[in-house]
Amino acid sequence: MTRALAAALLSVALLGCEASSAANDPASTASPQAAASQTPAAAQATGPQNFDSNKAWEHLRQMVFLGPRPSGSEALRQTRAYITRQLSAAGLTVEEQPFVAQTPNGPINMVNLITRLPGKRADRILITGHYDTKLFKEFVFVGASDGASSAAALIELARVLKTRPHEYTYEFIWFDGEEAVCPGWDDCGRPDAPDNTYGSRYYVDAVRKANGLSSIKAMILLDMIGSKDLILRRDTGLSTDWLLDLVWGTAKKMGHGTTFVELGGGGVGGDDHVPFLKAGIPSVDIINLVDYPQWHTKDDDLNHVSARSLQIVGDVVVAVLPELEKLLSRK
């Protein structure tokens, strides 16, 4: 009798351990439906949540673990599934925006991901980034900062901002095909068909066809924000001046003036905000390019990025949004 009872208790304990381990495994391959079942637990959190760089870092780590994630790849499909699971667990609905991009390597199936936080107004503020990695054949490119950092930060920002009041509707977009198949930004594209910004150009075209451009009041783009020694220069000449002033001014007030520095020349000469600027939408690119020597090398890996950098950018974006809403309300 004693032995049977002990065996039963041991069996229950082992089952409990296995269940706990599976629940805490961020790389779990649970279906979106299974992830969605976590929503009631996630919804129990009360009050405004703060940006948690530990959560963002884990998202970044899981994406890097999948390896290179160029457009059309199986690894990018898995990345898309991972992002969807995390957002579903936070009680958010994810919309896929599929399209076929005509690239120098032929047609490639691409997918933008979109989730929305409805506000009192239907007018939208977009918070965006890309989740694909550049295609390289010469070396393994896992894009820890160039791709994973922005994609990871957007997941955490969506979770946090869901708990905070906001007047405007927030729309989060993970763009596919930010820079696709050729080594350089302008290597094999044409002015009317560049080999870059496939996802953002498709999104803007779709909104234009739906007569929805006027509802987009501002666009914030995150790109390459994970560097250990993060230096964010102003994207002068491209980003909207008053948005640059708002973001960099807020960062300075928060004590992050050594990260958001008062220097120009921070942009790549083009990025996913350009199609929005061409459509007349105020946009800002928060990007670390000039001061990141690991850009487009095999060394853009976990050794050269940090959770602290994600925390700084996440905190600044959370602080900027209420001020941005005030400005937009006065326009």
pLDDT digits (tens, 9 = 90+) for 123-157: 999 999 999 999 999 999 999 999 999 999 999 99
DSSP state of 304: G
Which one has a higher pLDDT value, 290 or 149?
149
Q: In Å, how far are 29, 120, 216, 218 from 308, measured between CA atoms?
A: 28, 33, 31, 26
pLDDT at 181: 86
Sorted by where each starts, the structural domains of the chain and their CATH numbers stand as: 48-330 (3.40.630.10)
Per-residue burial over 201-237, b = 16 or more CB atoms within 10 Å of its CB, e = otherwise: bbbbeebeeeeeeeebbbbbbbbbbbbeebbbbbbee
Q: Which residues pair with 95 in a beta bridge?
A: 114
- Terminal CA-CA length for the chain: 79
Give the torsion sign (CA, 175, 51, 66, 91): negative
DSSP state of 27: T
Q: Closest by alpha carbon to 143, among 223, 74, 232, 202?
A: 223
223 pLDDT tier (thresholds 50, 70, 90) = very high
**For range 67-91, the mean pLDDT:** 98
Give the torsion sign (CA, 130, 309, 315, 268): negative
Distance CA 34, CA 29 (A): 10
Look up the pTM and report it: 0.85
- One-letter identity of residue 221: L
pLDDT at 120: 96
**For range 37-57, the mean pLDDT:** 71
> For residue 40, what is the enclosing H or E element?
helix 39-43
Placement of tokens 């929805």 in the chain: 212
pLDDT at 12: 36
Which one has a higher pLDDT value, 34 or 262?
262
Q: Closest by alpha carbon to 178, among 138, 148, 214, 217?
A: 148
Q: By mean pLDDT, which of 34-48, 164-178, 262-276 is the weakest?
A: 34-48
pLDDT at 264: 76
Instruction: Determine the Cα angle at 110 with ends 104 and 116, to 5°.
Output: 140
Q: Closest by alpha carbon to 260, among 270, 277, 248?
A: 248
Which one has a higher pLDDT value, 96 or 18?
96
Which one has a higher pLDDT value, 29 or 322?
322
pLDDT at 1: 42
267 pLDDT tier (thresholds 50, 70, 90) = low
pLDDT at 237: 86
